[in-house]
Structure 1
Amino acid sequence: MAPDGSTARTGAARGHIVVVGAGLSGLAAALHLAGRGCRVTIVERESFPGGRNGILERDGFRFDTGPVVFTMVPLLEEAFRAVGRSVSDYVTLQLLDPAYHAFFADGSRLLVRPGYEKMREVIEAESGAKDARAFDDFVVWLRRLNDVELPHFIDANFNSPLGLFRSPRAVAELLRLGGFKRLGPEVARRFSDERLHRVFTFQSMYAGLAPDQALALYAVITYMDSIEGVWFPEGGMHAVPAAMARAAQDAGVEIRYEVTVDQVSRVPGGAVSGVVLESGERLAADAVVVTADLPVAYERFLPGLTPPRVARRGQYSPSALVWHLGVKGELPEATGHHNIHFGKEWSQAFTDLMKTGIPMRDPSRYVAVPSVNAPAVAPEGAHTLYALEPVPNLHVGRLEWNREGPRLRDRMLTFLDSFGYPTDIVTEELVTPADWQAQGMAAGTPFALAHTLMQSGPFRPRNVDRRVPGLIFAGSGTTPGVGIPMVLISGKLAAQRVQEMRR
């Protein structure tokens, strides 16, 4: 019996699976595989789990170095349920209300509150009855998009683009809903208050696209955080991979930390036979799940094997300048956990970022203050700040980051000070696109391939390579894409690929 009480399929139960990387996708894959009766070994080069969802401790401050917005808890619950556990057995999650504090160039502020009723109250009070009524229809549209997309196009493996037509009714419904129109205009035509246009479309940046460029079907990301809500794990974001790692170990998964993979080993016919570690040790495996960024995975682990064309020549998402600060002092009164400061410019700022390849001249910025809900991450009388500004990736921009980084850091300091954030800096860490590249992220972006139409769904690099049977990919560079919900699903889809292989 599997830990969840179900009967594990015999073929998979006999297999040994090696997962390269203890990030969220690797941990999700391990949990789903363990639930199917597989023997699983995770090898992780760091001394802790999390991958991009890592942690930095310095001078009494603790920083989450990866994603800072957590949504769609049921997807995390599904991974724990695979081994007969529950999220609440390992970590406590708090629903943030407000989810975001949105600040605008005219000095106004909007609170983005979780759920339909609370957000409708905000819109009626701030934007008027007409936009509140528009929100009624907007929520129905978002939910319908989510209900169609999630099972048919997100939580699904594709073997070829023809897979798009295995659910013709779903495709027809997406067309009827206007999913293939542009997100920005679709939102703009619904609401009169221009602030709502920004609040309900900035999420397209998670998909690596400007709102006017993104397909309307990516409003599903808006649904995930603006309707379903944003959550925060007790102790910080790193508590999630730490909890997943403990659940995996309790289910029998072996996790080997501070172990670096040199390459994926193959038999003469090309099929996977295991991995070779930098120490020279060989781990035999029936299948290997690799979670590194796709182009980097081929370069490091599969020398001589050409990556898929889209991974080599595709359009990558913008990058981010991230500044971690440990500061002394009090926060301004209006500060929340998640704060978005919109610049005056909107379309021009995206042109700077994605076409011209220069820093936004009038940037919108995001500031997280985790110490608002997790006081233990900073000493008494101090706070942790996570300040992010979108910047060009290394394919679009030709910037010298050893010079540009400090310049933008100083510009960011001026911005923080102007909004009243404490700027008595005790410790800091600045992360530029050059640093992301050094960490193994293609094009110097932590957001992988952008979700253009031809890089999404069945057109995104698949999580298997027919030239190497037994090799499976997981993570943001493959199916279904970028963001915590997507990489959790990618781990489950990788486990399904292993199951298919063993039939």
Structure 2
Amino acid sequence: MNVLVIGAGLSGLSAALHLRGQGHQVTVLERAAVPGGRSGRIERDGFTFDSGPTVFTMVDLLDQAFRAVGRRADDYLTMQLLDPAYRACFDDGSTLHVRHGVEAMRAEIARECGSVDAAAYEEFVVWLRKLYLAELPHFIDVNFDRPTDLLRNPVAAARLVALGGFERLGPAIERRFSDPRLHRIFSFQAMYAGLAPAQALALYAVITYMDSVEGVWFPEGGMRAVPDAMAQAAMDAGVAFHYGATVDRITCAQGRATGVLLTGGERLNADAVVCTLDLPVAYEELLPEVPTPRVAARGRYSPSCVVWHLGVKGAPPPEAAHHNIHFGQQWHDAFDDLLRRGRPMADPSRFVAVPSLHDRDAAPEGCTSLYVLEPTPNLEVGRLDWPSEGPRLRERMLTDLQRWGYPTDIVTEELVTPQDWLAQGMAAGTPFALAHTFRQTGPFRAKNVDKRVKGLVFAGSSTTPGVGIPMVLISGKLAARRVAEMTR
């Protein structure tokens, strides 16, 4: 089959590699000049910033995409394990490091939180691993056609229930540990799913397993090196890439996708099309005659964020890790600000990455690159004036960076707000897509096929299985499976 893939982000590149591995003729259309999509880059004044995700976990899922075309990820990419994965800083001045390896993390907890919580950690890891083994092959790495597909493997479903996967994440963590700092370290990942820990299902503890147990990695050359490597492997395997190619419309005839129409008038025909745009945007811009599915048109979206890219003179504080989380004093109330009140957190928790610690191209000699992220309401929940709110949050972040000891002699900077995410094609102004509520998970999430348009498949964070690098890599693989089903 001749397959067109719209978008050279991680999901599109994953789809292209898996499709090529199945023997299809594959062409990737990317409107930018380089691969990456949301995992992009900003080059300015001698600094190079990764504009997308900064935390990479589950490298074996990346390797699966390379192996689809008979290659290995380490043929193209060098990955470094980060230990600690995170440095967690608390309002009382204390610090906890999320260490790689059960023994190392147990020792860290024993030293900072006591022997009881240290012993509880070993049982916690066993629980996380059981959840992961029950979920990944049966409920994540699968295509769903209908809700009853949840019962395709009744043994796995019963096991997930028995493990407490449908309880709430926050209480499940609190029941296992007494130190409130551990509650935050092992539940903040619910934000990746667009939910407060008190609301998220415990089955999303698999995200905690991915980074806190399996480990966090960083590629040599920065996060942008990942899409570069995937694109090179795809080209080596025979995939064609057209950069600077903006798709104006997906063409259809008699209820079937027939190809695309590019801006400028060029028409490309195909037997199948894989589209990786944010789902509501894909329907609105590329399929204007096909109504957007309800779950995408009226779904609940994850909170958004402000990201501040900073190029500064000077070195980071010696205690800084690659990934740093600075928790505010408030916790539950901060989520109410984001999810219910629609306003910035009164007492924010922030993520600060220092990519130049492990990426020599990120900053010139004697300088540091910083990536500061503060969660904010999305544009549907919050009605904020971002031209004025963005600079206000910037000043607040600057004050705190100085208080925490980071260098702030600014050479260059870029502030990205929810309004900017919207302009980049992200529905509701959030890079985190549809939230993972129960009604937007698994078979209830926006599907990666639409029976009204045969030959069209979707991939990316808005569809199955969801948000985050591991999930969008799987999403590309699931899209390739859908195309394979068309040939049967």
Query: In the alignment, which residue of structure 2 is the partner of 1:330?
Result: 315
1:459 paired to 2:444: yes
Please state whether the residue corresponding to 1:259 is helix, strand or coil. coil
1:270 paired to 2:250: no
Query: In the alignment, which residue of structure 2 is the partner of 1:314?
Result: 299
Query: In the alignment, which residue of structure 2 is the partner of 1:280?
Result: 265
Partners of 2:261 and 2:359 lie apart in 1 by 40
1:142 paired to 2:128: yes
Partners of 1:410 and 1:454 lie apart in 2 by 38
Summarize the alignment of residues 35-434 of structure 1 with structure 2, pairs less than 5 Å apart: 35-267=21-253, 269-434=254-419
Please state whether the residue corresponding to 2:56 is helix, strand or coil. coil
Partners of 2:316 and 2:35 lie apart in 1 by 31
Amino acid of the residue matched to residue 103 of structure 2?
Answer: E
Summarize the alignment of residues 444-455 of structure 1 with structure 2, pairs less than 5 Å apart: 444-455=429-440
Partners of 1:22 and 1:420 lie apart in 2 by 38
Partners of 1:350 and 1:173 lie apart in 2 by 31
Deviations 1:201-227 (A, max 9, x none): 000000000000100000000000000
Partners of 1:231 and 1:331 lie apart in 2 by 20
Offset of 1:377 from its aligned partner? Answer: 1.2
Amino acid of the residue matched to residue 412 of structure 1?
Answer: M
Partners of 1:282 and 1:161 lie apart in 2 by 37
Offset of 1:127 from its aligned partner? Answer: 1.0
Partners of 1:307 and 1:501 lie apart in 2 by 23
Partners of 1:235 and 1:42 lie apart in 2 by 23
After superposition, the CA RMSD in angstroms is 0.6
Query: In the alignment, which residue of structure 2 is the partner of 1:12?
Result: none
Offset of 1:170 from its aligned partner? Answer: 1.2
Please state whether the residue corresponding to 1:464 is helix, strand or coil. coil
Amino acid of the residue matched to residue 449 of structure 2?
Answer: V
The alignment's TM-score, normalised by the length of structure 2, stands at: 1.00
Deviations 1:150-191 (A, max 9, x none): 001100000011111111111111110000000000000110
Aligned length: 488
Partners of 1:231 and 1:120 lie apart in 2 by 20
Partners of 1:386 and 1:326 lie apart in 2 by 9
Partners of 1:461 and 1:454 lie apart in 2 by 10
Partners of 1:130 and 1:451 lie apart in 2 by 33
Deviations 1:40-62 (A, max 9, x none): 00000000000000011000000
Deviations 1:421-448 (A, max 9, x none): 0000000000000000000000000000
Partners of 1:110 and 1:486 lie apart in 2 by 28
Amino acid of the residue matched to residue 108 of structure 1?
Answer: S
Please state whether the residue corresponding to 1:151 is helix, strand or coil. helix
Deviations 1:110-135 (A, max 9, x none): 00011212111111111111011111
Offset of 1:375 from its aligned partner? Answer: 2.3
Offset of 1:330 from its aligned partner? Answer: 1.9
Q: Could you tell me which runs of 5 or more consecutive residues in structure 2 were left unpaired when the two chains were aligned.
A: none
Partners of 1:499 and 1:349 lie apart in 2 by 45
Please state whether the residue corresponding to 2:183 is helix, strand or coil. helix
Please state whether the residue corresponding to 1:111 is helix, strand or coil. strand
The alignment's TM-score, normalised by the length of structure 1, stands at: 0.97
Partners of 1:331 and 1:325 lie apart in 2 by 12
Query: In the alignment, which residue of structure 2 is the partner of 1:5?
Result: none
Partners of 2:361 and 2:256 lie apart in 1 by 48
Please state whether the residue corresponding to 1:32 is helix, strand or coil. helix
